[in-house]
Amino acid sequence: MVFVTGGTGVLGSQLMFDLSEFDGSIRALYRSEAKRDQLHRYFLKSDPVNGQQRFDKIEWVEGDIMDVVVLEELMTGCDYVFHCAALVSFHKRDFNKLMKFNREGTANVVNVALTVGVKKLCYVSSNAAIGGSEKAVITERTPWKNTPTTSGYSISKYSAEKEVWRGIEEGLDAVMVNPCVILGAGNWNESSLTLLRTLEKGTNYYPSGSNATVDARDVSRIMIKLMKSEIKNERYLCIGSNQSFKELMDEIAKQLYLKVPRKLAKQWMVNFARRLLGFISWFTPKPPSMTRETVEALYSSRTYSNEKVKKALNETFYTLEETVQFALKNRLD
């Protein structure tokens, strides 16, 4: 029996689809009927012959990781747990929510896993929980540092990892994956896929920074391999490719048959727009779409290594072109 949290997100959806290919039962938490229906459409689209049968293998239970009583009931009898659920936000006002859901929620999963005797846990962390600078290639050994520009999301994911390490010290077998920006099937109004929605509208400007992307299919495959292996008490960066935002935006624009952005957006211009949006947000119920942390990310350049996971599992990754093509083909909103 496999238990999954966050099974309707960009990564969780792919994981659920891949897990359904194997024998065995799957139990999954969900909080949104609409997102579960969205995942159902993905199953039918990706496997017209057996998609319904594969989807029906999943035992869906409404709830969340903050309810320890429900968690203990659902995780009892489960051999393996994939903990994908997370809150993502870069707004300062959400810091307490991030710490509660990401850190405390992960602590709940770890504690229940220890209580009910789960054989192995796979926790989905983030490259935001690994430190580094623009001066050197970032690996799993790069120390994390809390600086004035560190986002609340980064702090919450690093804190959540500490809960997993605590569980390991108390006898839990666990592995962690640290993916970068994940692209895959899903709703373009959610998570990292909002980038595709933004670029679909067309833009002539690009930021000067860079980051890494990874295909949801790669991360899902790695997670399943790690859980089936003898590997434990390790974490792995999951990086498909490192590229500038200009290169990423050019690839997306090309596949959307749009003009590629040609003008560099100066950082001061973007910061001015951020402050203006922040002022406007005081008069609306919606938070500003841009924060200081997101602007910092757009203008920083970091390079991440995937050598550890490639050596451990003999892994290869989809190219950026293949990843973008897959995400565009599997739009679900």
Convert the pLDDT of each residue in 36-92 to its tens digit. 999 999 999 999 999 999 999 999 999 999 999 999 999 999 999 999 999 998 888
Give the pTM: 0.93
Right CATH number for 2-188+211-242+303-320 from 2.60.260.20, 3.40.50.720, 3.40.50.1970, 3.40.1010.20?
A: 3.40.50.720
- Asked whether residue 285 carries a pLDDT value surpassing 70, the answer given is no
Pick from 215, 245, 224: nearest CA to 316: 215
Residue 2 and residue 27 in contact, taking contact as beta carbons nearer than 8 Å:
yes
The listed range with the strongest mean pLDDT (31-35, 161-165, 275-279) is 161-165
Residue 114 pLDDT: 98
Determine which helix (DSSP H) or strand (DSSP E) holds 35, and give its type and residue range.
helix 33-46
Per-residue pLDDT tens over the stretch 292-323: 777 788 888 999 999 999 999 999 999 999 99
Query: Which one-letter DSSP state was computed for residue 278?
Result: H
- Give helix then strand counts, H and E, for the chain: 14, 12
- Kindly provide the residue ranges of all beta strands, DSSP E only, lying in 125-223, ordered along the sequence: 174-179, 181-183, 205-206, 210-215
- Asked whether residue 154 carries a pLDDT value surpassing 70, the answer given is yes
Query: Which one-letter DSSP state was computed for residue 289?
Result: S
Q: Which residues contact 238 (CB under 8 A, 6 or more apart)?
A: 177, 178, 179, 180, 214, 218, 219, 222, 306, 309
* Structure tokens, 8: 């309707």
Q: Which residues contact 161 (CB under 8 A, 6 or more apart)?
A: 123, 125, 129, 176, 235
